[in-house]
A and B are shown apart, each in its own frame.
Chain A
Amino acid sequence: DAKTTQPPSMDCAEGRAANLPCNHSTISGNEYVYWYRQIHSQGPQYIIHGLKNNETNEMASLIITEDRKSSTLILPHATLRDTAVYYCIVMSTNAGKSTFGDGTTLTVKP
């Protein structure tokens, strides 16, 4: 499994866009990029995933660079409830498993 690198922490002002980067320079062609978040000590919550095209859903947008070596999760209008640890992982269907790094702690401030 390809490993990922994320900054340990970030701050964001409430109402502003939160842009969370992730480096996955060793990603393979069949590996997808997934984002999850964990609020306090609850179970991680799935946010979004993609292979090479940018993706958007009701929670967030995922921007993947053309060489697929990095990606950015965008929360367009961050709220206080978005304060959480965000995990970027890569995984292929065949492997069906992944490694979670230590994630980025996002703190949204009023």
Chain B
Amino acid sequence: DADVTQTPRNRITKTGKRIMLECSQTKGHDRMYWYRQDPGLGLRLIYYSFDVKDINKGEISDGYSVSRQAQAKFSLSLESAIPNQTALYFCATSDIGTGNQPQHFGDGTRLSIL
């Protein structure tokens, strides 16, 4: 979805480095999510936020932290990157609206940790 922008698109870094992945959206959605995808597997939820003051851990939050700087911005940090965090990372948004609203995904960040 072009309205959900992830930066960078690709990143190669070394073990022990601090990494920040950024997500911004122009959809005006309250809810934002960070997922991780390993090769051949489905998406696993890292963190999610239902509004600026709300942060929740997902199923695999260890080794990660997040910051919801504004309604439109949600960043994912790896404080000290390790090789098994090499993966494809996706940001998503959804509207709280009426009924159940689907998630809209960015194009992903491919992260390689050497």
**Chain A residues packing against B (C-beta within 8 Å):** 32, 34, 36, 41-46, 49, 51, 87, 91-93, 96-103
Contacts and interface: CB of A to CB of B under 8 A. Distances in A.
B112 to A, nearest CB: 13
Contacts of A103: 42
A102 B99 CA distance: 26
B103 interface: yes
A100 B42 contact: yes
B107 A44 contact: no
Given A93-B99, A97-B58, A102-B41, A43 B50 contact: no
B74 interface: no
A43 B94 CA distance: 14
A49 B100 contact: yes
B107 A43 contact: yes
12 contacts: A36-B102, A43-B107, A44-B92, A44-B105, A51-B100, A91-B100, A93-B99, A96-B96, A97-B33, A97-B56, A100-B42, A102-B42
A92 B101 CA distance: 10
B79 interface: no
A99 B45 contact: yes
